[in-house]
């Protein structure tokens, strides 16, 4: 692809084949027995994200809450992808939560949510943010993977499943 003079062309360092391991670290995979509501869940996610990003937890919370106020990020089938953009963030970052007790998320199918993949992106990362959202949405449509994620509450095992090569997820 030829760059046009003066035109910013964002890209992920690993190109179009971005893997979840590029944006998700093992310590960003959590298992929570229960979250009372989205606010409590977002606070937990924000506190964990603050540790890994160095950004203020309140700022992260505000970004997630502001996006959620536009409409639920609950996709249906027990899945949600809350996301937000943050000034000062170095790159797209993901956090995953497996809720032992599903919670109301105002999802499009009115089903409770138990699998939550949170994406945080730099304020100017339009293309990278969209690539990450598309990758996660595609990954979470893999029925075998979703079934396997629901079968364990061990963060290392969840991380392993989420970051496995796509071909092995489809074979599972």
Q: At what angle do helices 38-53 and 57-69 cross, to 10 degrees?
A: 140
Q: Do residues 149 and 162 lie in contact, with contact meaning Cβ atoms separated by under 8 Å?
A: yes
Catalytic residue among 48, 83, 129, 131: 83
Residue 83 is among the residues annotated as catalytic for this protein:
yes
Catalytic residues: 83
């Amino acid at each position: 692809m030829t760059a046009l003079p003066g035109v910013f062309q964002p890209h992920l360092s690993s190109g179009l084949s971005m893997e979840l391991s590029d944006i998700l670290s093992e310590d960003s995979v959590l298992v929570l027995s229960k979250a009372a509501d989205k606010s409590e869940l977002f606070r937990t996610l924000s506190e964990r994200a603050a540790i890994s990003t160095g950004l203020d937890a309140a700022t992260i919370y505000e970004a997630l809450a502001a996006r959620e106020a536009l409409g639920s990020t609950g996709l249906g089938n027990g899945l949600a992808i809350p996301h937000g953009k943050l000034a000062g963030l170095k790159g797209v970052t993901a956090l995953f939560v497996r809720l032992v007790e599903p919670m109301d998320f105002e999802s499009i199918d009115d089903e409770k949510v138990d699998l939550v993949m949170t994406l945080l992106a730099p304020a100017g990362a339009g293309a990278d943010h969209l690539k990450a959202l598309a990758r996660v949405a595609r990954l979470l449509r893999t029925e075998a993977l979703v079934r396997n994620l629901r079968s364990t509450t061990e963060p290392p095992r969840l991380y392993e499943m989420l970051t496995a090569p796509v071909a092995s997820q489809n074979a599972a």
